Chain A
């Protein structure tokens, strides 16, 4: 059964220096509050995993908490580049960043393999592209048809953190709207935290909802508004103005650091 706790205690219990950590949410339900708590607790040397590193990972990489990034699309959707992430890859600031990149289909299947307890997943893809030579995939022959396929390795993060709309008091989680790879990340990881907008007495079934049973999760913690500037469908709205504003904040190292001090680290006493 998941322990109902608060975000700082859950992060302290789950995330250690050097861990591989997946904070997922495919443009929706991105766990900003939990990610900021990882930074406030001063975690270092992380392998950050996320299909779509957006503003949250720009912040985390920009602070220098990561040694490696596993991803499939690194951009600020509809706005442009992630400037901190580019600075880390192009110039090694504030620390060098190793990368392992995939396609969306590849990384989604890596989570599926992890969630399935399999060592790899099979797919068509990568062949004919330059990515095949620059990432961790292998060609295999289908034993039934002889077709050449690609095997992608299972993703088994030390920790997965996702956000959801609600949990009941037993820690069963329900999310709806764009489901991304929330369930796959939780089931693939060794340990997990789900932050939620609210704790309810009973989960009322929603259209196209995904339910993650309590006994597959280590911690559930309330974090109202905890995915902002991303959003929780039906509860908060995506703050598109902030995503646009981030472009200017993140372009310059000093402006970025001042913004993080004021908005993430202020009062935390940790840097």
Chain B
């Protein structure tokens, strides 16, 4: 796959998320960008990584990016396929899955997430899908990584609804950089190549704390970019 064009910010975000799975044993993932990042990690960095989807597929080895967490390819390639109660009670709850990738419509400075409503609960301005597996995934897995677009709509001073607690979040990977909790508050610790601190501040709905010695994400390698573009092209 061609690597001649420069990586987009979304591609850098996906590559950064994939790299965070280096050395990890197992990862719980939802659909969309988290799934793309985890499949990329298996392809490029960590072929032994166990991918777990909440539909009950443990050790799935997808060659394509699934549209839904229940696509047939996941069950066909899985080491084990279990019921939903078993997934939550035997696998997630007791902490058998190491890392979780989650997304959110809103996130606050403590990495709490909202996927329930925008506006008042009884009379929502926008009704979002709801909790799904996230609350218990976020308290069952030992490391939670949030993948979200960096914008003031998403990074808010106050959540409209607290769906999922942020106590186990270790990283928030955005299209601008990476935030990590320092003394309980998400702090900008890394920027993607070509991004300025000011962009991250403007895209955050609270006064963003920034680490003095900011790291810069290494640009995607040809191997990473080519694998990612190949994955997207397979559709």
Contacts and interface: CB of A to CB of B under 8 A. Distances in A.
Report whether chain A binds chain B. Answer: yes
Nearest to B92: A105
B67 interface: yes
Contacts of B208: none
A27 B126 CA distance: 24
B84 A181 contact: yes
Given A77-B67, A130-B162, A177-B75, A108 B131 contact: no
B116 A178 contact: no
User: Is chain A's binding surface mostly helix, strand, loop or mixed?
Assistant: loop
Interface of A: 26-28, 51-52, 71-75, 77-79, 81, 85-86, 89-90, 101-105, 108-109, 111-112, 123-126, 128-131, 134, 177-181, 183-184, 208, 210, 231, 233, 237-238, 240, 243-244
B83 A105 contact: no
Given A104-B133, A112-B85, 11 more contacts: A51-B84, A52-B132, A73-B133, A81-B127, A90-B127, A108-B83, A109-B88, A128-B162, A178-B81, A180-B55, A180-B56
Contacts of B135: 103, 105, 125-126, 129, 131
Nearest to B121: A134
Contact of B139 (A77, A79, A125, A243): A125
A123 B93 contact: yes
B214 to A, nearest CB: 32
A177 B134 CA distance: 23
A172 B69 CA distance: 28
B70 A26 contact: yes
20 contacts: A27-B71, A28-B72, A73-B132, A73-B133, A79-B67, A104-B133, A108-B85, A112-B85, A123-B136, A128-B162, A129-B135, A177-B75, A179-B82, A179-B83, A180-B83, A181-B83, A231-B72, A238-B70, A238-B72, A244-B67
A71 B68 CA distance: 18
Contact of A74 (B92, B130, B161): B130
A73 B126 contact: no
Contacts of A90: 124-127
Nearest to A78: B67
Contacts of A181: 83-85
Contacts of B85: 108-109, 111-112, 181, 184
A129 B138 CA distance: 12
B121 A124 contact: no
Interface residues of B, number: 46
Contacts of A184: 83, 85
A240 B83 contact: no
Interface of B: 31-32, 54-57, 66-72, 74-75, 80-85, 87-89, 92-93, 116, 121, 124-127, 129-136, 139, 161-165
Given A89-B127, A178-B57, A180-B84, A130 B161 contact: yes
Nearest to A80: B129
A178 B31 contact: no
Nearest to A89: B127
Contact of A109 (B80, B89, B130): B89
Contacts of A124: 93, 136, 139
Given A78-B31, A105-B135, A129-B164, A208 B80 contact: yes
Contacts of B68: 27, 77-78, 238, 240, 243
Contacts of A180: 55-56, 83-84
Given A73-B129, A130-B116, A104 B84 contact: yes
A129 B162 contact: yes
A120 to B, nearest CB: 14
Contacts of A104: 54, 84, 88, 131-133, 136
B116 A89 contact: no
A128 B133 CA distance: 15
B131 A27 contact: no
A19 to B, nearest CB: 23
Contacts of A128: 162, 165
A61 to B, nearest CB: 12
Contacts of A71: 130
Nearest to A25: B70
